[in-house]
Amino acid sequence: MSEVIYMGEKNKKLSEKIEELSGEKITLCEQCGICTTSCPMADDMDITPAGIMRYSQIGDEKVVDSEAIWICASCFTCTVRCPRGIDLAKVAEALRELNLRKNVDHIDVNHLDEELNELPAIAVVSALRKFTS
């Protein structure tokens, strides 16, 4: 069964938001796929880097909820190779930011989860930084 994406205002808004946060013109992507096979983590991603660009152009919400944006190592290989000169690392960062704004993994410092205590201190600090705002 094919998934149909009904393009509406929310798609437009998401695309615009990604462009605003990343400062990159995502419509420039010509879908050559060079980013994907430059990416050292692409094999572990649920959406390929070129796919991330495509879904961003369409404004499909699933890109914000993807695993791929967290697997991105910010190594910038895609950025230095993109023939259209798009800084894909910035786009990924914008998507992570959008995901965080949903507050899905929000941590309340007053009620820390038990399992957090088992983590190394540095991971706790990192989690607090990311998920408390």
Partner 1 sequence: MKIGVYVCHCGGNISDAVDVEKVAEFASRQPDVAVVRSISHMCSESGQRAIIDDIQQYNLDKIVVSACSPQFQGETFKKAVAKAGLNPNMVVMANIREQSAWPHHDEPENATEKAKILTAMAIEDIRKKEPVEKVTLKMGKNVLVIGGGIAGIQASLDLANAGFNVYLVEKKPTIGGHMAQLSRTFPTEDCSSCILSPKMADVAEHPNIHLMTYSEVLEVNGSIGNFNVRILKKPKYVDEDKCTACNKCTEVCPVSVPDEFNLGMTMRKAIYLPSSTAVPHSHVLDEDACLGLKPLACGLCSQVCEADAINYDDMPQYINLKVDTIIVATGFDIFDAHLKPQYGYRKYRNVINALEMERIIVEMAEGHVIRPIGKDIAFIQCVGSRDAQVGNLYCSRICCMYATKLASLLKRMDPSREVYVFYTDLRAFGKGFEEYYRTAQELGVKFIRGRPGELAEDPESKKVVVRVEDTLTRKIIEKKFDLVVLSVGLVPGEGTVKIAEMLKLPRSADGFIKEAHPKFRPVDTPVEGIFVAGCAQGPKDIPDTVAQASAAAARAMSLMNKGEYEMSPIKAFVHEDLCDGCGLCVDKCPVDAIKVAGVAEINVAVCKGCGACISSCPRNAIDLRIFSNEEVMAQIDAALRDKKPGEKRIIMFADDMCTYTLADGVGTAKLKYNSNTYIIRVPSSSRVTPEMMVRAFEKGADGIFLGECEAAVSPYPDTLKVIEENVKKAREMLARAGIEEDRIQYSPFVTVMFKKFVALADKMLRMAEKYGDIPEEKRRRLGMEKVIYHE
Shortest reach from residue 97's CB to partner 1, in Å: 24
**DSSP 8-state class, residue 61:** G
Shortest reach from residue 82's CB to partner 1, in Å: 7
16 versus 46: smaller Cβ distance to partner 1: 46
Closest by Cα among 73, 91, 70, 105 to 26: 91
Shortest reach from residue 42's CB to partner 1, in Å: 6
39 versus 92: smaller Cβ distance to partner 1: 39
29 versus 107: smaller Cβ distance to partner 1: 29
Shortest reach from residue 99's CB to partner 1, in Å: 21
Contact residues: partner 1, CB under 8 A:
30-39, 42-43, 47-48, 50-51, 54, 77-78, 80-85
What is the SS3 assignment for 84?
A: coil
20 versus 30: smaller Cβ distance to partner 1: 30
In our burial notation (b when 16+ CB lie closer than 10 A, e otherwise), range 88-124 reads bbbbbbbbbebbeeeeeeebeeeeeeeeeeeeeeeee
CB–CB of 38/7 below 8 Å? no
